[in-house]
Amino acid sequence: MIVKMTKEHIDEVIDIHIDCFKDSFLTSLDRGVLDCMYNNYLSSELGCAYVYIIPETILGFIVGTVNPSVYYNQLLKKRWLRILGLTLKRVIRNPRILKSIAQRDFSGFFRPNESEESYRRASLDLIAVKPEYRGRGIARNLTEAFLYDLKARGVSEVNLGVAATNVRAKRFYEKMGFEKVRTSVDNYGRESNIYKLTMSV
């Protein structure tokens, strides 16, 4: 069954996140940062978050946001002190993370785009299904609920980025109708594919 994500789901969602995104930058940060991040999808009117749940257990989740530039700007304004504190704690324990932070481009977070047009755009930030439940249509169902919700809010374009090496996810997004629009390369030379889905409203 698919339901909107609530605060009670977040601990389990974080467990799935850590298991499914072992090597990601976000996972390298403190669990508290993930808690902060997932809670914000619930508290912001721009957030969109669903879980696939069977009695007592969450099998997968999807999160994203309408107008990401405004969403992330609000997140920083609201929670910057907590995020900074948690990140510093993590950096002290593992100073190598600092290099990863320094290499990232956070400039978009400081340039919110308030135009009417930008509220028609959304981002699909993360989707994950527990490994033992994959290939059963759970991600497809989650994505359909997510897109239906966004469409009802007037969104006509959904964007996402996925590591070029994540072949399974790329195939999944293509099956869902997303089209690759470009490739971007980060400061480490890691390639991401940017996908877009256009919906009629």
Ligand X SMILES: CC(C)(COP(=O)(O)OP(=O)(O)OC[C@H]1O[C@@H](n2cnc3c(N)ncnc32)[C@H](O)[C@@H]1OP(=O)(O)O)[C@@H](O)C(=O)NCCC(=O)NCCS
Residue 138 engages ligand X in binding (rule: CB under 6 A): yes
Helix axes 31-43, 10-20, angle to 10 degrees: 120
- Comparing CA positions, the residue from 74, 62, 73, 72 lying closest to residue 150 is 62
* Window contacting ligand X (CB under 6 A); options: 63-71, 102-110, 115-123, 160-168: 160-168
* Window contacting ligand X (CB under 6 A); options: 34-42, 98-106, 110-118, 129-137: 129-137
Residue 165 engages ligand X in binding (rule: CB under 6 A): no
Residue 190 engages ligand X in binding (rule: CB under 6 A): no
Q: Among 134, 151, 180, 196, which residue sits at the site for ligand X (rule: CB under 6 A)?
A: 134
d(CA 71, CA 52): 24
Q: Among 122, 162, 193, 195, which residue sits at the site for ligand X (rule: CB under 6 A)?
A: 162
Query: For ligand X, which is the closer residue by CB, 91 or 157?
Result: 157
Residue 128 engages ligand X in binding (rule: CB under 6 A): yes
- Comparing CA positions, the residue from 89, 87, 113 lying closest to residue 102 is 87
φ, ψ of residue 186 in degrees (nearest 5): -85, 180
At 87 the three-state DSSP class reads helix
Query: For ligand X, which is the closer residue by CB, 51 or 139?
Result: 139
41 Cβ contact partners less than 8 Å away, ≥ 6 residues apart? 5, 47, 48, 49, 63, 64, 65
- Interacting residues toward ligand X by CB under 6 A: 20, 126-129, 134-140, 162, 166, 168-169, 171-172, 175
